[in-house]
Amino acid sequence: MKKRIFLASPHMSEEEYEKKYVKEAFDTNWIAPLGENVNKFEEELAEYVGAKHAAALSAGTAAIHMAMKALNVKQGDIVFVSSLTFSATVNPVIYENATPVFIDSEEETWNMDPIALEKAFEKYPNPKAVIVVHLYGTPAKIDEIVKICKEHNVPLVEDAAESLGSTYKGKQTGTFGKYGIYSFNGNKIITTSGGGMLVSDDEERIQKVRFWATQARDKARHYQHSEIGYNYRMSNICAGIGRGQLKVLDDRIQKKTEIYNRYKEAFKDIAEIKMQPIPENTVPNHWLSAFVLDENSKVKPNEIMDALDKENIESRPVWKPMNLQPVFEKCDFISICNEEKSVGQKLFENGICLPSDTKMTEEEQKVVINIIRELFK
């Protein structure tokens, strides 16, 4: 069988920085949640993105959940959420028994449409929070979204799980709202095997999140609990991996950008293919390179994915919007699209995520490109 070409897979540093920090954990016999690596990873990640405080957690999903808790989201509350995303963005809203209202995308970034967000505020004037996603590492129209949230005095949470290292007007995604979250899942631009981070400039809330995430143990000699807690803290081993990975984040962004640019150049003469746009004033991390086919394209997304799969090459559809998911079918959906299909649905039905693995060689990428180009001859 031919060597597998992955969509995105873990990539440890050639310098083996990760081993150094993991070895320190072993040498100090600190193979447990919390520890020096956790403390340092929080500090180093916060410094990299320009946030004042950070809490290292077991997953990006846990980080969103803790953001919901920190905002006192509860039963009866409404939270506006980007529809075109992975379910982990919205599941924590349900954990707190709140009600998600999904907001459609716009075509210039594929992210939350600010005009649809305004429309949502007209229908639901008092949501508890807004969760915006920076899809595939491309920043949303964050200036407009921040302005709308401030006008309505509603806190913004940035799901920057896919966009660590991406910037808008030179500022890191995840640092525009009240809270930002990052994911270090195995497929992300850097990984801790699993794990996530919640960042904020609010020191008191981050300290509270650390308390909740460590089973909400009160300060007492015995085990005493005045609140419900969670086992959400990152382990010292995972944090050691993260510290090493953080050292090569800029290199990974450069490689992902090269991959995106190579695809863009290779498909520029195929009118039916449009790569995910790069909005003005943004520098995406290009976590995944994705394109959308013209709705009238003679070649369909499944044909492309099937052709790649035959050669042991992984590809995926664009996320299926949350408003189309069976589990959320009763939730409201806000769009300004007057057509039968929303922007998010059209992106899902016509979009493809291409292999964007930083271990992929230029020759392997050419194989991917040639397979796709052959279909359009």
pLDDT, one tens digit for every residue, the chain (377 residues): 789 999 999 999 999 999 999 999 999 988 877 899 999 999 999 999 999 999 999 999 999 999 999 999 999 999 999 999 999 999 999 999 999 999 999 999 999 999 999 999 999 999 999 999 999 999 999 999 999 999 999 999 999 999 999 999 999 999 999 999 999 999 999 999 999 999 999 999 999 999 999 999 999 999 999 999 999 999 999 999 999 999 999 999 999 999 999 999 999 999 999 999 999 999 999 999 999 999 999 999 999 999 999 999 999 999 999 999 999 999 999 999 988 999 999 999 999 999 999 999 999 999 999 999 999 99
Q: Which domains does the chain have, with CATH numbers?
A: 17-246 (3.40.640.10), 249-375 (3.90.1150.10)
Of the candidates 181, 178, 183, which has an alpha carbon nearest to the alpha carbon of residue 201? 178
Of the candidates 8, 12, 5, 1, which has an alpha carbon nearest to the alpha carbon of residue 313? 5
The pLDDT value recorded for residue 163 is 98
Of the candidates 52, 48, 42, 8, which has an alpha carbon nearest to the alpha carbon of residue 165? 48
116, exposed or middle or buried, with CB in 10 Å at 0-12, 13-18, 19+? buried
